[in-house]
Amino acid sequence: MNIDDLTIGEAREISSLVGQQKTGAGAYPVEIGKNYLFQGVTHYWTGCVARITGSYAVLADAAWIASTGRFAECIATGKVDECEPVGNVYVNMDACNDIIPWLHALPRELK
């Protein structure tokens, strides 16, 4: 079989078997308007998901968390060791290792 000889219908059938990566709202395990802690390539981000654009979550009131301190304590209490509030940021959801609901006020103090 030569791929150049496929009909449109055959190509569509193959495409449906392979599947496609889903992006945008509903593609990721986050809800608009909720706070999360994202573990990415350069440590952590906290923020409120304002919208999903393609594979990016737009976070409002975001902060880069350089150090969580004791991780279990951070998740339980919302206390972080090092924080750099940055405002709004785009987080690549495909590069996130973990996404954890943040049940506390977002960190806003530079430390």
What's the pLDDT tens digit per position in 37-96?
A: 999 887 899 999 999 988 899 999 999 999 999 999 999 999 999 999 999 999 998 888
Rounded Cα distance, 107 and 7, in Å: 56
Rounded Cα distance, 108 and 85, in Å: 6
Residue 16 belongs to a domain = no
CA distances from 107 to 39, 59, 71, 94 (A): 15, 13, 15, 24
Contacts for 21 with CB less than 8 Å, ≥ 6 apart: none
Q: What is the CATH number of the domain that holds 78?
A: 2.30.30.100
Rounded Cα distance, 71 and 47, in Å: 17
pLDDT digits (tens, 9 = 90+) for 4-46: 777 877 777 776 666 555 655 567 888 999 999 999 887 899 9
Residue 110 belongs to a domain = no
Parent domain of 81: 22-101
Residue 93 belongs to a domain = yes
The total number of structural domains in the chain stands at 1
